[in-house]
A and B are shown apart, each in its own frame.
Chain A
């Protein structure tokens, strides 16, 4: 019987991240070190306090997690490598939370880093990888999904542009956002940007970033003891699924995966937490391409199927709305280095739940949802909350 994880007695001890961007001059090991130190300082700890580490990345090779951890110290702690494409960071978070919840660690660290600027080319013609699924670029896959929705639901490009403008404008007020526009971005500006794969324009697509982020989880009583007076944020539940087969499944290429995967993973997480979408105050999702956000409004239960467009029209997912999404700008503005993305999401969840999200604070936020998909083949949904 597969079921979501429910976490008891676990709390976030510390968070830290390097602001994402094209950081060509910033060595990846130094980014990892700096994110780790920021989280340790936020927790009031040193590596000597950490019993276990989950290290995640997509691109560098074998055992780089251990190498990165040595930048923080050599204490003999167990290090486990985790890779689940874009979902890597949230899965590292989930496993670190479970390490503490299971009782095998008092303190566990999730540390992720990646450099998309050092990734290889996009493959295909003229010296690229000669494999069947290389020639088509990721933007195309998500554009296929967007086009089908426009056909089925009558969604307009203006709706997609409104969502993208919201994310860019959240980026402007989020200190950790890569994209921080100096003016209010309008849907018209989004639509006027360069076409990538119709209907997606460049301002509807996330940047390929470099970055690092770290989250430290610990026994709740330890966190309360070390951080008196600070609001304690806790992981509540987590679910992780891979693809389920249904007619129409595409097997060749890094496809977007079946949309049911997000719906089913969310149900599993809600059930584990004994919570539902009505209990969630702020949500974070995988918006590498803007149309994903619209789909996830519905698949995560914030709107009925086909009801996402109305949420956008009402402004329900922006500042002051019923359920703000991606208050740090999301993948679209905050950026998307790969592995660390999920921990940047946790970073913003914690800031929102601590009440520290100046300029973008969701008033009275008590429950946050963190969702990512990875490689079109996995989905994870996690709930965090404050209980006092």
Chain B
């Protein structure tokens, strides 16, 4: 069964099921600022034309919360809640994403690594996935 992204253009799914996804970013050739997601005009210096770059798969947790509402607004309750965080990548971008783990698993400043959350199965039988972060050491 194949894995497909919830929306094209944001991340690449590796063939190796154990490898982290890769976030697709842009780097300004003029000022060097790096962005996620990709963009054509530099948001810092307004230079037109950026270079595609792959972003790091690890970052540090800037802030987090644990949303005690079933995942993604689902009305059923087999998922009690989910973590949400903002993660600073070494290149500069701050990524807002779902976190894997329970309400006691997160701490500001901790290192996290990207992986994939399966959201649902589409009509073709493929798994629809989105990127998420999980603590590098431990977590569930």
Q: How far is the CB of A17 from chain B (nearest CB, A)?
A: 30
A135 CA to B10 CA, complexed, in Å: 15
Q: How far is the CB of B97 from chain A (nearest CB, A)?
A: 8
* CB closest chain-B residue, reference A142: B65
A247 CA to B6 CA, complexed, in Å: 27
Q: Is B35 an interface residue (CB 8 A)?
A: yes
- Give B1-12 as 1s and 0s: 1 = Cβ < 8 Å from A's Cβ atoms: 000001100100
Task: From B13-21, B47-55, B80-88, give the one contacting chain A.
Answer: B80-88
A196 CA to B82 CA, complexed, in Å: 11
Interface centre among A121, A122, A124 (most CB of B within 10 A): A124
Given contacts A124-B119, A125-B120, contact A137 B73 (CB under 8 A): yes
Given contacts A248-B94, A251-B35, contact A125 B65 (CB under 8 A): no
A213 CA to B71 CA, complexed, in Å: 35
Is B84 within 8 A of A136, CB to CB? yes
Is B37 within 8 A of A252, CB to CB? yes
Given contacts A144-B63, A197-B66, A197-B67, contact A249 B103 (CB under 8 A): no
Is A198 within 8 A of B120, CB to CB? no
Chain B hits for A137, CB < 8 A: 67, 69, 72-73
A135 CA to B67 CA, complexed, in Å: 11
Interface centre among A123, A125, A255 (most CB of B within 10 A): A125
Interface size class of A (residues with CB under 8 A): 35 or more
A127 CA to B65 CA, complexed, in Å: 25
A375 CA to B44 CA, complexed, in Å: 21
Q: Is B130 an interface residue (CB 8 A)?
A: yes
* CB closest chain-A residue, reference B88: A248
Q: How far is the CB of B103 from chain A (nearest CB, A)?
A: 7
Q: Is B116 an interface residue (CB 8 A)?
A: no
Is A140 within 8 A of B72, CB to CB? no
Chain A hits for B7, CB < 8 A: 130-132
Chain A hits for B108, CB < 8 A: 147-148, 151
Partner of A247, one of B73, B86, B92: B92
- Give A241-258 as 1s and 0s: 1 = Cβ < 8 Å from B's Cβ atoms: 000010111111101000
Given contacts A126-B74, A132-B130, contact A250 B95 (CB under 8 A): yes
Is A151 within 8 A of B98, CB to CB? no
Q: How far is the CB of B58 from chain A (nearest CB, A)?
A: 17
Q: Is A134 an interface residue (CB 8 A)?
A: yes
Q: How far is the CB of B134 from chain A (nearest CB, A)?
A: 16
* CB closest chain-A residue, reference B92: A247
Q: How far is the CB of A117 from chain B (nearest CB, A)?
A: 16
* CB closest chain-A residue, reference B38: A251
Chain A hits for B72, CB < 8 A: 122-126, 128, 134-137
Q: Is B43 an interface residue (CB 8 A)?
A: yes
List A87-130 residues whose CB lies under 8 Å from chain B. 121-128, 130
Q: Is B128 an interface residue (CB 8 A)?
A: yes
Partner of A147, one of B37, B64, B94: B64
Given contacts A124-B73, A132-B6, contact A252 B98 (CB under 8 A): no
Q: How far is the CB of B60 from chain A (nearest CB, A)?
A: 12
Chain A hits for B73, CB < 8 A: 121-125, 128, 135, 137
Q: How far is the CB of B50 from chain A (nearest CB, A)?
A: 13
* CB closest chain-A residue, reference B85: A144
Chain B hits for A200, CB < 8 A: 65
Given contacts A123-B73, A251-B35, A251-B37, contact A143 B94 (CB under 8 A): no
Q: Is A26 an interface residue (CB 8 A)?
A: no
* CB closest chain-B residue, reference A194: B68
Q: Is B57 an interface residue (CB 8 A)?
A: no
Partner of A140, one of B10, B84, B92, B95: B84
Given contacts A148-B108, A245-B44, A249-B94, contact A130 B86 (CB under 8 A): no
List B87-110 residues whose CB lies under 8 Å from chain A. 88, 92, 94-96, 98, 103, 108
* CB closest chain-B residue, reference A139: B67
Is A144 within 8 A of B65, CB to CB? yes
Is B98 within 8 A of A136, CB to CB? yes
Given contacts A124-B73, A140-B84, contact A147 B6 (CB under 8 A): no
Is A198 within 8 A of B6, CB to CB? no
Q: Which 9 A-B pairs give the minimum distances between C-beta atoms?
A: A124-B72, A122-B73, A143-B65, A148-B63, A125-B72, A140-B84, A135-B72, A245-B43, A197-B67
28 A-B residue pairings within 8 Å (CB atoms) = A122-B72, A124-B73, A124-B119, A125-B73, A126-B120, A131-B6, A132-B7, A134-B72, A135-B6, A135-B73, A135-B98, A136-B84, A136-B98, A137-B67, A137-B69, A137-B73, A141-B96, A145-B63, A147-B64, A147-B65, A197-B68, A198-B65, A198-B66, A198-B103, A247-B92, A251-B39, A252-B36, A252-B96
Given contacts A127-B120, A245-B43, 8 further A-B contacts (CB under 8 A): A125-B120, A130-B7, A141-B84, A144-B64, A196-B67, A198-B68, A200-B65, A253-B96
